[in-house]
Structure 1
């Protein structure tokens, strides 16, 4: 196979058409071919615009990683889209709901054609369309403290895209038990915040204390199309840094996002 890649490479890049050709020629899945490309020290051409910020080795780490996203709605749809385009090899998408009409103003995966369709299954179809070499595991279940550890088993990072405090507190418990980093995000109206919690940190407790309202403040302030996209981008950047080892994380602090004033504030705990 290395001879095949050497013959097809443009510099160190392997074009998608040759990845598909190799899968058929060597009776392998597209994911197995992508792993073989990285193993040969080459780069799938789809990631060439990542290379000045991520090395081939870091891109390979992303492909070998597993990220669980809890919620496939406003935040979750943008997070899933960006993780897939970034090149995360396994994505676990968890959401019990189906699309409703009030989702159409902001949820990236929604459309009139998909009203009544499973959000998790729609995420699987979308990611498969973006990059069939990736593996998205769709789970149409509600996340809670009882089933959470099983649902996110094997994940390197868990991303919070839920819409209520109770689910966030369950995420806090499960991620502590599994010793997995949790990238938290929340949005409402023009505002949002993002923070990263490692095992031993106390971010969720400090943010929410004894609050237990379900659903959260976004029901009161509403959510436009742009707020989830902005907050999700910060969350995916945190995931990328956790896996690649690059940059400074939002640990023991939160980034407050105010899109009305076009300001961000770094708030320490």
Structure 2
């Protein structure tokens, strides 16, 4: 690291759990952030500020006026611009040393697997179950830790799914794909802006801990936030022995790869 980097990251380097060696780990790390909206905004800002070497941002949407209440990466000057391009400009202004790759598309299949394989940690800031389930499958197949978050109304949740661990539950162990269930979104039910900042910040913290190999992650734990009454609850997640993803063909495929 040069003198400017030592100064930029000095407050992190002071931490005994990080030091210069840990900061260099972050500079050499690669993170995939799926979704740069309400959750992806604080996630991407904190990861870029912390000095994660390469961020790959994935989001097919454009910036709309209704986003600005909560999606703090964007502002009124970029309405109509792809969200990933708006995010790339903001992050490069915050930290020009971070390499930011912007993908303005919904990744699927082999494209999604390739993006997951090129990252050390995956952070899910998406807003729909289809993306979450597809991302979970890719992370299990490739063997990458997934930091998952969601927020709606005044309620949020965060968890880490790490298929590298023998007892590692996956997203499908917790939530089942049900074609008959109706998916809620904040455009239908609403969301209080700071809630996304809280959940996204926890996701960024978990991603940094995984990259550094420090502390105890939210592996096999689900944090639930009642923002209205500001109460946290923790639920243990157990691997489902009948899960078709982490105990099925996806995990076997990875073992043979």
Q: Normalised by the size of structure 1, how large is the TM-score?
A: 0.81
SS of 1:85 mapped into structure 2: helix
Tell me what 1:238 maps to. 206
| 1:228-267 correspondence runs (5 A) | 228-267=196-235
Tell me what 2:10 maps to. 48
1:198 is aligned to 2:198: no
Tell me what 2:245 maps to. none
SS of 1:147 mapped into structure 2: helix
Which digits, 9 at most, give the CA deviation of each residue in 1:238-269, with x for residues without a partner?
A: 11111111100111110111111111111112
**Distance in structure 1 (CA, Å) of the matches to 2:221 and 2:188:** 25
| 1:182-193 correspondence runs (5 A) | 182-193=146-157
State the superposition RMSD in angstroms: 1.8
Q: 1:214 to 1:244 in 2, by over 3 A?
A: farther
Please report how far the alpha carbon of residue 217 of structure 1 lies from its aligned counterpart in structure 2 after TM superposition: 4.3
**Distance in structure 2 (CA, Å) of the matches to 1:161 and 1:149:** 17
| 1:53-202 correspondence runs (5 A) | 53=15, 54-199=18-163, 201-202=168-169
Which digits, 9 at most, give the CA deviation of each residue in 1:125-175, with x for residues without a partner?
A: 111101111100001111233421123331000000000111100001111
**Distance in structure 2 (CA, Å) of the matches to 1:224 and 1:144:** 30
Please report how far the alpha carbon of residue 215 of structure 1 lies from its aligned counterpart in structure 2 after TM superposition: 5.0
Q: Which has the larger Rg?
A: 1
Q: Is the 8 A contact 1:165 1:211 kept in 2?
A: no
User: Which stretch shows the higher mean deviation, 106-115 or 143-152?
Assistant: 143-152
**Distance in structure 1 (CA, Å) of the matches to 2:61 and 2:83:** 6
Q: Is the 8 A contact 2:39 2:200 kept in 1?
A: yes
Which digits, 9 at most, give the CA deviation of each residue in 1:187-246, with x for residues without a partner?
A: 111111100011163331133212356754434431221011000111011111111111
Unaligned runs of 5+ in 1: 6-13, 16-42
Which digits, 9 at most, give the CA deviation of each residue in 1:8-59, with x for residues without a partner?
A: xxxxxx13xxxxxxxxxxxxxxxxxxxxxxxxxxx52011111232211001
Q: Normalised by the size of structure 2, how large is the TM-score?
A: 0.85
SS of 1:133 mapped into structure 2: coil
Please report how far the alpha carbon of residue 90 of structure 1 lies from its aligned counterpart in structure 2 after TM superposition: 0.3
SS of 1:132 mapped into structure 2: coil
Q: Is the 8 A contact 1:145 1:171 kept in 2?
A: no
Q: Is the 8 A contact 1:195 1:251 kept in 2?
A: yes
User: Which stretch shows the higher mean deviation, 84-93 or 111-120?
Assistant: 111-120
User: RCO (CA 8 Å, sep 6+): is it higher in 1 or 2?
Assistant: 2
User: Which stretch shows the higher mean deviation, 225-234 or 137-146?
Assistant: 137-146
SS of 2:137 mapped into structure 1: helix
Q: Is the 8 A contact 1:96 1:141 kept in 2?
A: yes
- The alignment of Structure 1 onto Structure 2 pairs a total of residues equal to 231
